[in-house]
Amino acid sequence: MDKLLFITDTHMTEAGRFIIGLDPAARLQAVLDAALAAHADVAALVILGDLTHNGTEAEYRRLKPLLDAVPIPVIPMLGNHDRRAAFQKVFPDAPQAEGFVQSMRDIGETRLITLDSLDGPPYPDDHHAGRLCDTRLRFLDKALATRAGRQAIVCIHHPPFDTGIIGMDMIKLAEGDAFLDLLARHGNLHLVCGHVHRTMSGSTRGVPWTILKSPCHQGVLDLTSPDAHLSTNEPGAYGLALLMGDGIVIHSEDVGLKGVRIFGGYDAE
Protein backbone atom coordinates (compact mmCIF):
# COMPACT_ATOMS: atom_id res chain seq x y z
CA MET A 1 0.00 0.00 0.00
CA ASP A 2 1.42 3.38 -1.00
CA LYS A 3 1.20 6.36 1.35
CA LEU A 4 1.36 10.11 0.90
CA LEU A 5 2.18 12.74 3.49
CA PHE A 6 0.41 16.11 3.54
CA ILE A 7 1.35 19.33 5.28
CA THR A 8 -0.42 22.62 4.60
CA ASP A 9 -0.09 26.28 5.49
CA THR A 10 3.44 26.34 6.84
CA HIS A 11 3.37 30.19 6.78
CA MET A 12 7.14 30.54 7.12
CA THR A 13 8.30 33.89 8.51
CA GLU A 14 11.76 35.42 8.85
CA ALA A 15 13.71 34.42 11.96
CA GLY A 16 12.39 36.20 15.04
CA ARG A 17 8.92 36.80 13.54
CA PHE A 18 6.09 34.89 15.19
CA ILE A 19 2.40 34.22 14.42
CA ILE A 20 0.20 34.38 17.52
CA GLY A 21 3.35 33.65 19.49
CA LEU A 22 4.31 30.57 17.43
CA ASP A 23 7.52 30.13 15.42
CA PRO A 24 6.52 28.59 12.07
CA ALA A 25 9.99 27.05 11.58
CA ALA A 26 10.01 25.28 14.92
CA ARG A 27 6.44 24.11 14.46
CA LEU A 28 7.14 22.77 10.96
CA GLN A 29 10.29 20.99 12.11
CA ALA A 30 8.39 19.27 14.91
CA VAL A 31 5.70 18.09 12.50
CA LEU A 32 8.24 16.89 9.93
CA ASP A 33 10.17 15.00 12.60
CA ALA A 34 7.04 13.30 13.95
CA ALA A 35 5.60 12.47 10.53
CA LEU A 36 8.81 11.04 9.08
CA ALA A 37 9.63 9.08 12.23
CA ALA A 38 6.22 7.43 12.18
CA HIS A 39 5.87 7.03 8.40
CA ALA A 40 9.31 6.74 6.84
CA ASP A 41 7.85 4.75 3.95
CA VAL A 42 5.70 7.53 2.43
CA ALA A 43 6.12 8.02 -1.32
CA ALA A 44 6.14 11.83 -1.23
CA LEU A 45 5.32 14.92 0.82
CA VAL A 46 2.82 17.44 -0.60
CA ILE A 47 2.73 20.92 0.94
CA LEU A 48 -0.62 22.47 0.07
CA GLY A 49 0.27 26.16 -0.14
CA ASP A 50 0.79 29.21 2.02
CA LEU A 51 4.39 28.07 2.22
CA THR A 52 5.30 31.52 3.53
CA HIS A 53 3.44 34.23 5.43
CA ASN A 54 4.38 37.19 3.21
CA GLY A 55 5.77 35.63 0.03
CA THR A 56 9.23 37.16 0.44
CA GLU A 57 12.44 35.63 -0.84
CA ALA A 58 13.85 35.68 2.70
CA GLU A 59 10.97 33.56 3.95
CA TYR A 60 11.41 31.00 1.16
CA ARG A 61 15.13 30.88 1.99
CA ARG A 62 14.29 30.06 5.61
CA LEU A 63 11.92 27.31 4.47
CA LYS A 64 14.27 25.71 1.95
CA PRO A 65 16.76 23.91 4.26
CA LEU A 66 13.90 22.35 6.20
CA LEU A 67 12.47 20.87 3.01
CA ASP A 68 15.88 19.99 1.54
CA ALA A 69 16.46 17.76 4.57
CA VAL A 70 13.32 15.70 3.88
CA PRO A 71 14.51 12.32 2.48
CA ILE A 72 11.53 11.81 0.14
CA PRO A 73 10.27 13.82 -2.87
CA VAL A 74 8.68 17.10 -1.76
CA ILE A 75 5.97 18.72 -3.90
CA PRO A 76 5.37 22.32 -2.77
CA MET A 77 2.24 24.21 -3.85
CA LEU A 78 1.28 27.89 -3.66
CA GLY A 79 -1.46 29.64 -1.68
CA ASN A 80 -2.68 33.20 -1.31
CA HIS A 81 0.20 34.15 1.03
CA ASP A 82 2.79 33.07 -1.57
CA ARG A 83 4.36 34.95 -4.46
CA ARG A 84 5.23 32.87 -7.52
CA ALA A 85 8.41 34.69 -8.67
CA ALA A 86 10.02 34.64 -5.24
CA PHE A 87 9.15 30.96 -4.83
CA GLN A 88 10.53 30.05 -8.26
CA LYS A 89 13.76 31.90 -7.55
CA VAL A 90 14.43 29.91 -4.36
CA PHE A 91 12.88 26.62 -5.52
CA PRO A 92 13.80 26.46 -9.24
CA ASP A 93 13.66 22.64 -9.25
CA ALA A 94 10.17 22.31 -7.73
CA PRO A 95 7.63 20.51 -9.97
CA GLN A 96 6.06 23.06 -12.33
CA ALA A 97 4.23 23.16 -15.67
CA GLU A 98 3.25 25.94 -18.07
CA GLY A 99 4.68 28.60 -15.74
CA PHE A 100 2.50 27.54 -12.82
CA VAL A 101 3.47 25.55 -9.73
CA GLN A 102 1.33 22.59 -10.76
CA SER A 103 2.22 18.94 -11.33
CA MET A 104 1.04 15.40 -11.88
CA ARG A 105 2.66 12.05 -11.17
CA ASP A 106 1.52 8.48 -10.72
CA ILE A 107 2.10 6.66 -7.45
CA GLY A 108 1.11 3.07 -8.10
CA GLU A 109 -2.54 3.08 -9.12
CA THR A 110 -3.13 6.68 -7.99
CA ARG A 111 -2.58 9.85 -10.00
CA LEU A 112 -1.50 12.74 -7.79
CA ILE A 113 -2.35 16.18 -9.20
CA THR A 114 -1.21 19.39 -7.49
CA LEU A 115 -2.62 22.74 -8.59
CA ASP A 116 -1.66 26.42 -8.33
CA SER A 117 -4.60 28.60 -7.22
CA LEU A 118 -2.62 31.79 -6.56
CA ASP A 119 -4.36 34.84 -8.04
CA GLY A 120 -1.71 36.93 -9.76
CA PRO A 121 0.48 38.59 -10.74
CA PRO A 122 -0.63 41.30 -10.58
CA TYR A 123 -1.48 40.72 -6.92
CA PRO A 124 -4.44 42.79 -5.77
CA ASP A 125 -3.99 44.48 -2.38
CA ASP A 126 -5.33 42.39 0.47
CA HIS A 127 -7.02 40.01 -1.92
CA HIS A 128 -6.77 36.39 -0.87
CA ALA A 129 -9.33 34.53 -3.00
CA GLY A 130 -8.04 31.77 -5.28
CA ARG A 131 -8.08 31.59 -9.08
CA LEU A 132 -7.90 28.80 -11.64
CA CYS A 133 -7.61 30.38 -15.08
CA ASP A 134 -8.42 28.47 -18.27
CA THR A 135 -4.79 27.40 -18.65
CA ARG A 136 -4.80 25.77 -15.22
CA LEU A 137 -8.26 24.22 -15.67
CA ARG A 138 -7.08 22.69 -18.97
CA PHE A 139 -4.03 21.23 -17.19
CA LEU A 140 -6.34 19.59 -14.66
CA ASP A 141 -8.73 18.33 -17.33
CA LYS A 142 -5.87 16.69 -19.23
CA ALA A 143 -4.34 15.22 -16.07
CA LEU A 144 -7.66 13.57 -15.20
CA ALA A 145 -8.41 12.45 -18.76
CA THR A 146 -5.07 10.64 -19.23
CA ARG A 147 -4.88 8.62 -15.99
CA ALA A 148 -5.83 5.27 -17.57
CA GLY A 149 -8.33 4.20 -14.92
CA ARG A 150 -6.30 5.30 -11.91
CA GLN A 151 -8.01 6.95 -8.94
CA ALA A 152 -6.85 10.54 -8.40
CA ILE A 153 -5.95 12.82 -5.52
CA VAL A 154 -6.44 16.45 -6.58
CA CYS A 155 -4.70 19.00 -4.34
CA ILE A 156 -5.50 22.71 -4.32
CA HIS A 157 -4.93 25.36 -1.65
CA HIS A 158 -8.32 27.12 -1.89
CA PRO A 159 -11.53 25.11 -1.26
CA PRO A 160 -13.97 25.63 -4.14
CA PHE A 161 -17.04 25.53 -1.83
CA ASP A 162 -18.43 27.23 1.28
CA THR A 163 -17.31 25.69 4.58
CA GLY A 164 -19.60 27.66 6.92
CA ILE A 165 -16.63 29.65 8.21
CA ILE A 166 -17.64 33.01 6.78
CA GLY A 167 -14.28 34.75 6.70
CA MET A 168 -12.73 31.91 4.71
CA ASP A 169 -15.75 31.47 2.44
CA MET A 170 -15.27 35.08 1.34
CA ILE A 171 -11.83 34.14 0.00
CA LYS A 172 -12.52 30.69 -1.47
CA LEU A 173 -11.69 29.68 -5.06
CA ALA A 174 -13.30 32.12 -7.48
CA GLU A 175 -13.82 29.51 -10.21
CA GLY A 176 -15.29 27.00 -7.77
CA ASP A 177 -18.28 26.08 -9.92
CA ALA A 178 -16.24 25.30 -13.04
CA PHE A 179 -13.68 23.41 -10.96
CA LEU A 180 -16.29 21.26 -9.18
CA ASP A 181 -18.13 20.58 -12.44
CA LEU A 182 -14.91 19.33 -13.98
CA LEU A 183 -14.10 17.11 -10.99
CA ALA A 184 -17.63 15.68 -10.87
CA ARG A 185 -17.56 14.94 -14.59
CA HIS A 186 -14.35 12.90 -14.26
CA GLY A 187 -15.14 11.23 -10.91
CA ASN A 188 -13.12 8.57 -9.05
CA LEU A 189 -11.08 11.14 -7.14
CA HIS A 190 -10.59 12.81 -3.77
CA LEU A 191 -10.01 16.54 -3.32
CA VAL A 192 -7.55 17.77 -0.66
CA CYS A 193 -7.34 21.46 0.34
CA GLY A 194 -5.66 23.77 2.85
CA HIS A 195 -6.39 27.47 3.48
CA VAL A 196 -8.86 27.06 6.37
CA HIS A 197 -6.35 25.74 8.96
CA ARG A 198 -8.88 23.24 10.27
CA THR A 199 -9.42 19.52 9.74
CA MET A 200 -12.71 19.06 7.89
CA SER A 201 -14.29 16.57 5.52
CA GLY A 202 -17.39 16.36 3.39
CA SER A 203 -18.62 16.14 -0.17
CA THR A 204 -19.90 18.84 -2.49
CA ARG A 205 -21.85 18.03 -5.68
CA GLY A 206 -20.69 14.45 -5.26
CA VAL A 207 -17.01 15.37 -4.95
CA PRO A 208 -15.49 14.01 -1.70
CA TRP A 209 -13.02 16.31 0.02
CA THR A 210 -10.74 16.74 2.99
CA ILE A 211 -9.27 19.97 4.38
CA LEU A 212 -6.22 19.66 6.60
CA LYS A 213 -4.87 21.91 9.32
CA SER A 214 -1.51 23.59 9.68
CA PRO A 215 1.70 22.70 11.50
CA CYS A 216 1.48 26.24 12.95
CA HIS A 217 -1.62 28.32 13.85
CA GLN A 218 -5.09 26.81 13.47
CA GLY A 219 -8.48 28.19 12.47
CA VAL A 220 -11.44 28.58 14.79
CA LEU A 221 -14.88 26.95 14.53
CA ASP A 222 -16.76 30.26 14.51
CA LEU A 223 -19.68 30.39 12.09
CA THR A 224 -20.57 34.04 12.75
CA SER A 225 -17.45 36.18 12.33
CA PRO A 226 -16.38 37.46 8.88
CA ASP A 227 -12.78 37.76 10.14
CA ALA A 228 -10.54 35.45 8.08
CA HIS A 229 -7.66 35.87 10.53
CA LEU A 230 -9.17 34.23 13.64
CA SER A 231 -6.48 31.83 14.85
CA THR A 232 -5.76 29.57 17.79
CA ASN A 233 -2.68 27.73 19.04
CA GLU A 234 -4.00 24.18 18.87
CA PRO A 235 -1.26 21.60 18.16
CA GLY A 236 0.28 21.39 14.71
CA ALA A 237 -0.69 18.50 12.48
CA TYR A 238 0.00 16.52 9.33
CA GLY A 239 -2.17 14.42 7.05
CA LEU A 240 -1.48 10.89 5.87
CA ALA A 241 -3.21 9.37 2.84
CA LEU A 242 -3.38 5.59 2.50
CA LEU A 243 -3.76 4.67 -1.15
CA MET A 244 -5.92 1.57 -0.95
CA GLY A 245 -6.65 -0.65 -3.89
CA ASP A 246 -10.26 0.50 -3.92
CA GLY A 247 -10.09 4.04 -2.55
CA ILE A 248 -8.29 6.60 -0.44
CA VAL A 249 -8.21 6.96 3.36
CA ILE A 250 -6.95 10.23 4.88
CA HIS A 251 -5.81 10.54 8.48
CA SER A 252 -5.01 13.72 10.41
CA GLU A 253 -2.49 13.51 13.25
CA ASP A 254 -1.81 16.21 15.84
CA VAL A 255 1.79 16.61 16.95
CA GLY A 256 3.11 17.53 20.37
CA LEU A 257 0.14 16.49 22.45
CA LYS A 258 1.18 15.20 25.83
CA GLY A 259 -0.40 12.13 27.36
CA VAL A 260 -1.94 10.65 24.25
CA ARG A 261 0.43 7.67 23.97
CA ILE A 262 -1.09 5.83 26.89
CA PHE A 263 -2.18 2.36 25.91
CA GLY A 264 -4.12 -0.05 28.03
CA GLY A 265 -7.56 -1.02 29.25
CA TYR A 266 -10.07 0.74 31.46
CA ASP A 267 -8.93 2.40 34.67
CA ALA A 268 -9.54 0.29 37.77
CA GLU A 269 -12.55 1.44 39.75
Residues near Fe ion (CB under 5 A) are 9, 50
50/116 with CB nearer Fe ion: 50
DSSP class of residue 87?
H
Residue nearest Fe ion (C-beta atom): 50
8 Å CB contact between 45 and 75:
yes
For the packed helices 57-68 and 24-38, what is the interaxial angle rounded to 10 degrees?
A: 20
The minimum distance between CB 131 and Fe ion, in angstroms, equals: 16
Those residues whose C-beta lies under 8 Å from the C-beta of residue 269, and which sit 6 or more positions away, are: none
79/152 with CB nearer Fe ion: 79
CA dihedral for 58, 64, 66, 67, sign (positive or negative): positive
The minimum distance between CB 117 and Fe ion, in angstroms, equals: 12
50/119 with CB nearer Fe ion: 50
Among the residues of the chain, which ranges form H helices? Answer: 24-38, 57-68, 84-90, 134-145, 166-169, 176-186
The minimum distance between CB 156 and Fe ion, in angstroms, equals: 13
For the packed helices 176-186 and 134-145, what is the interaxial angle rounded to 10 degrees?
A: 10
The minimum distance between CB 25 and Fe ion, in angstroms, equals: 16
Those residues whose C-beta lies under 8 Å from the C-beta of residue 250, and which sit 6 or more positions away, are: 6, 190, 192, 201, 210, 212, 239, 240, 241, 242
The minimum distance between CB 185 and Fe ion, in angstroms, equals: 29
29/54 with CB nearer Fe ion: 54
The minimum distance between CB 81 and Fe ion, in angstroms, equals: 6
Identify which of 22, 38, 114, 25 has the alpha carbon closest to the alpha carbon of residue 66.
Answer: 25
Half-sphere exposure of 11 (CA within 13 A, CB side): 22
139/238 with CB nearer Fe ion: 238
130/176 with CB nearer Fe ion: 130
